[in-house]
Amino acid sequence: MDESPEHDLVEDARRGSREAFAGLVRHYERRIYGLVFRMAGNHSDADDLAQEVFLTAWRSIASFRRGSSFYTWLYRIAVNTALTFLRKRSREKDRTEFNENLAGADAADGAYTSPEGSSALNELKGRVDEAIESLPGHFRMSFVLVVSQGLSHAEAAGILGCSENTVSWRMHKARKLLQARLKPYLGEVRS
């Protein structure tokens, strides 16, 4: 089933074949999971979101237009699902905004005071994950699509429904925000 061309799988799935859709799920589940995990920040929510993405895709696959890219269409569903989840969670938990002073406050708690040492790499990865999670929604989505998912600016722009320049600008701003937050771990930030 997985060896069938994607086009055939999509066409069969549009006609109601759950087997064909299962082939598409197997092909994209890791990438979709990686995307929503980066947005949700934990495996429990990522699992729920990934399931929701594929359920939404199954419900609306009849509306998928032939000739367009299935993975772009699926990524759009994932992006919308993840952003909706973030907005909902933001309302519920009143999450704190990204602020550049947070890094200083975190540095005082002692757990991550020294990026040097044997566990420095793991500590840095944990800090980077936290910092990415605290980025504003659209910055985070652009960053995850380009850095974590390895998409080009053009592909990310197609999924997000914006221009390549917008993606480029968001990436630049996201990096500046991350640099500011991770200053003690990445080095001095020069303006």
Partner 1 sequence: MRCETMKKWLSDDLDGALAPTKKARLEAHLRGCPGCRADWACLARLQSSAAPAEDRSPEYWTGFEERLGSKLAGIERGRRTVCVPFSARRKWAWAAAGFLAIAMAGTYFAVSRAAGTVETAWVSYEDSLAPLLQEAEANPEFGSLVNREILASIEELTPVPENELTVPSADDPLFWEGLSEDELRYIALELERETGRGGLK
Binding site for partner 1 (CB under 8 A): 18, 21-22, 25-26, 29-30, 33-34, 37-38, 43, 47, 50-51, 54-55, 58-59, 121, 124-125, 128, 132, 143, 146-149, 152-153, 164, 168, 171-172, 175-176, 178-179, 182, 186-190
Q: What is the Cα–Cα distance from 8 to 116, expressed in whole angstroms?
A: 52
Q: What is the Cα–Cα distance from 17 to 10, expressed in whole angstroms?
A: 9
- State which residue, 50 or 86, has the beta carbon closest to partner 1: 50
- State which residue, 80 or 179, has the beta carbon closest to partner 1: 179
The minimum distance between CB 141 and partner 1, in angstroms, equals 14
DSSP 50-93: HHHHHHHHHHHGGGPPTTS-HHHHHHHHHHHHHHHHHHHHHHHH
DSSP 119: T
Q: What is the Cα–Cα distance from 6 to 97, expressed in whole angstroms?
A: 41
- State which residue, 67 or 191, has the beta carbon closest to partner 1: 191
CB neighbours of 81 closer than 8 A, spacing ≥ 6? 36, 49, 52, 53, 56
- State which residue, 111 or 154, has the beta carbon closest to partner 1: 154
The minimum distance between CB 84 and partner 1, in angstroms, equals 19
For residue 21, give the nearest of 70, 69, 68 by alpha carbon.
70
The minimum distance between CB 91 and partner 1, in angstroms, equals 26
The minimum distance between CB 123 and partner 1, in angstroms, equals 10
- State which residue, 67 or 162, has the beta carbon closest to partner 1: 162
